[in-house]
Amino acid sequence: MLTYLISYLAASLSIKLPSVFFYASTRMILGSLTSLLITIVLGPKVILFLYNMKTGQSIRVEDCPVLATLHESKKQTPSMGGVLILFSVLISLILWMDFSSVFTVILLFSTLYLAAIGGYDDFLKMKYKNSKGLKSSKKFFLQLILCVILSSYLYFPNVGANFSKTTKIDSPIAKIEGKPKKGLSISNYQRIYYMPFVKKPLFILPVGLVILAVLFTTFVITGTSNAVNLSDGLDGLAAGLVMMSSLVLAIFAFLSNHVEFANYLNIIYIEGSSEIAVFLSSIFGASLGFLWYNSYPAQVFMGDVGSIPLGGLLGICAVLLRREFLLALVGGIFVLEALSVIMQVASFKLRKGKRIFLCAPIHHHFEYRGIKETKVVIRFWIVGLILALIGLASLKFQ
């Protein structure tokens, strides 16, 4: 939005502005700095407000009673700090992203929608004592609605074409960056699936099997959303991992926006993916700023209002970029956390109450074994960083 204002003032005053402010790389930097600074500056006021609202962290005692002892000091720490992250990201989106891009519209709508789900979940926990929030079935149903809306645009050409017509506005960014002639339409490239380190597409779904694409998209978005939610159990853990995953995806989105880079690196060219890069850079900056207050000992927790949207948005960006399997790689810790819960529940039901882990998700298992919280977080970050570097290496080794 700020780019439109600058362009309008420049035209009105007959001033020639440096085009550098409209480049994707510049907007990525400005977006990350904007969300970072907003998060840090507003952090103390938001934390105080949440504390006065008595949004203290609830601690599980039913299946993991030892957590009550391990996390005793966290009871009064305010939750719902995710509102700070999302507010910073939305301000960056409004200031630096191109509203003529359908990607901007998708990401804006998805952010608000998922924030409403997470916020309502946290609200129920805060209002009703001992409440676990939204039931898993209701939460999944609400997430499913978003996946159906997104899939309708991505996989059904008529819906996508009609929606795109309504989003055409004069864009100063498009004028500066230009519009390369090569590339695939969204309805075509969304049926192509890529694997890290593999040059050619892993497979291309026929039009007749588009329902499989819808199911896979639903699995990626809801799976990532809930996996990040499960990882938000130790000080700084989820924020640090989201930061790494968003940065890797942002780099891929930036490179995918340039025909020359895409051809050289053997990756798919996606016109307009620079907006996804700016958005992910804003998430990176906001997550980094949130760590200022969320690192051990945490002054605020993310809550469902932060973890559910952030995970879902990572999944949506991966789907738009055709990088679902890359997200599974760089977000390997998220996958591990989700698998540990699935295995724990399956074992408990199939083996008559026997558990695989001392407590799930797996980060609590290591806590039960006597490893300090800070060491668990740092080690998970290290593994996450290694996976992120491997993901970046896939750009060259294919």
pLDDT digits (tens, 9 = 90+) for 228-269: 999 998 999 999 999 999 999 999 999 999 888 988 898 888
Q: Which pLDDT belongs to residue 133?
A: 78
pLDDT digits (tens, 9 = 90+) for 278-292: 999 999 999 999 999
Whether a cis peptide bond, with omega within 30° of 0, leads into 157 is no
Query: What type of residue sits at position 63?
Result: D
- Contacts of 212-216 with CB under 8 Å at 24 or more apart are 213/151, 213/154, 213/155, 214/147, 214/148, 214/151, 214/155, 216/324
Checking if the pLDDT of 66 tops 90, the result is no
**Confidence tier at 53 by pLDDT (50, 70, 90):** confident
State the average pLDDT over residues 88-103: 93
Q: Of 240 and 171, which is predicted with more confidence?
A: 240
Q: Torsion angle, CA of 94/96/99/104, rounded to 10 degrees?
A: -80
Q: Which pLDDT belongs to residue 18?
A: 63
Q: Which pLDDT belongs to residue 244?
A: 97
Distance in angstroms between the alpha carbons of the first and the last residue of the chain: 38
Any bridge partners for residue 193, and if so which? 203
Checking if the pLDDT of 187 tops 70, the result is no
Of 196, 278, 283, 275, residue with least CA distance to 238: 283
C-beta of residue 100 within 8 angstroms of C-beta of residue 177: no
Distance, CA of 74 to CA of 378 (rounded, Å): 19
**Confidence tier at 174 by pLDDT (50, 70, 90):** very low
Checking if the pLDDT of 365 tops 60, the result is yes
State the average pLDDT over residues 153-177: 55
Checking if the pLDDT of 391 tops 60, the result is yes
Q: Provide the 10 A C-beta neighbour count for residue 381.
A: 17
Q: Which pLDDT belongs to residue 170?
A: 45
Mean pLDDT of the chain: 86
Q: Which pLDDT belongs to residue 181?
A: 42
Checking if the pLDDT of 144 tops 90, the result is yes
Lowest mean pLDDT among 80-84, 269-273, 329-333: 269-273
Name the percent of the chain lying above pLDDT 90.
57
State the average pLDDT over residues 19-33: 87
pTM of the predicted structure, to 2 decimals: 0.90
Torsion sign (Cα): 71, 72, 78, 79: positive
Q: Which pLDDT belongs to residue 160?
A: 53
Distance, CA of 232 to CA of 341 (rounded, Å): 13
